[in-house]
Amino acid sequence: MAFTRESLRIDCRRVCAEVIAALQQQVRHRLRRRGAVVCVSGGIDSSVTAALCVRAFGPERVRALALPERDSSPESLAYAQLLCNHLALDLVVESIGAALEAQGCYARRDDAVRAAIPEYGDGWKMKLVLGHGLLETGRLNVFRVRAEGPDGVTREERVSLDSYLAIVAATNMKQRTRMVRAYYHAEALNYAHVGSHNRDEYVLGFMVRYGDIGVDCMPIGLLYKTQVYELAAHLGLPEVIRTQTPTSDTYSAQQSQEEFFFALPFSVLDPLLYAWEHDVPAPEAAMGLGLSAEGVERAYRDFESKVRSTQHMRELPLLVGSPPR
């Protein structure tokens, strides 16, 4: 069968039933837990995950957590509350801003930003962005910092490797702090901490080790982003949640997942990633998607690079030496 965009279409009724059955088996029998804790951001992934958990365990056995901090968008909390109202869940809101302040998250990040933009300070907003044109030019994955001052003037500069690593390391405190807080609730209730990563994020490494990947199970981890949207429609989630642009909600400036990491819209990324994972030759994938073979080859190389550089995130801690006999 020739490869097309339709190759990703799923039977939502069947997939939904399979995921719910797997959740029940994993949480109740393998993990021996009574329910699920889900960190909800109002985004499509956590919304679908929460809805699946409600169907698997009932709303009385699902703890919905919102863990905002000072860079979080107010819309995220509003969407999270909308979702919980829709699913008949009580939303527990706990700010992690004070913890992050005490850990030096913001100060360390700001120092690294000032290495590229010295005037960056109070009242400024920032984000990291990738260059455009992956399919057209095969650009390198070089990050730039984009900052907007209180006067509305925007500055964008390339960041050194040291500054980039410092910004990411400081920012990753957010996901790791949320993981710690989520496990408090999970252990206090004897629940499982259920994660919301989709297949794009897991395969390509858009995650934080011992942070947002620090979970007990991932019910949508085998579903591409566009398939998650299909499932959201099948589950009847509110339209405003199903139609908003996916964001990282990590930096103070509004940022899409495309400009921060994936470099492609999901309508293009998903079929390309599916083709790459299923060994579809670049010319065949290009024909099925209406792209150039050269562009598909560039995307394939980008996938290979991301998978290779993030492989450690998908592995258990390594043991050193030989085991005792």
Separation between Cα atoms, residue 156 and residue 113, nearest integer Å: 11
Provide the CB-side half-sphere exposure for 99 (13 A, CA): 16
* Average pLDDT over every residue of 72-77: 92
CA 12 to each of CA 20, 137, 139, 233: distance values in angstroms, whole numbers, following the listed order: 12, 37, 36, 9
Closest CA to 55 of 230, 237, 178, 179: 237
Identify the weakest region by mean pLDDT among 45-49, 241-245, 260-264.
Answer: 260-264
Separation between Cα atoms, residue 171 and residue 163, nearest integer Å: 12
Residue 82 identity: L
Separation between Cα atoms, residue 106 and residue 174, nearest integer Å: 10
Separation between Cα atoms, residue 77 and residue 145, nearest integer Å: 26
Residue 259 has pLDDT above 70, yes or no: no
Contact at 8 Å (CB) between 191 and 125?
no
pTM of the model: 0.93
- Do the strands 154-158 and 143-148 form a parallel or antiparallel pair, or are they unpaired? antiparallel
Please count the residues of the chain.
325
Identify the weakest region by mean pLDDT among 29-33, 81-85, 228-232, 286-290.
Answer: 286-290
Contact at 8 Å (CB) between 37 and 189?
yes
Which residue ranges form the domains of the chain, and what is each CATH number?
9-102+164-314 (3.40.50.620), 105-163 (no CATH)
Residue 140 has pLDDT above 70, yes or no: no
**What is the token pair recorded at 228?**
């998650």
Residue 84 has pLDDT above 60, yes or no: yes
Q: What is the DSSP letter of 27?
A: I
Q: What is the DSSP letter of 261?
A: I
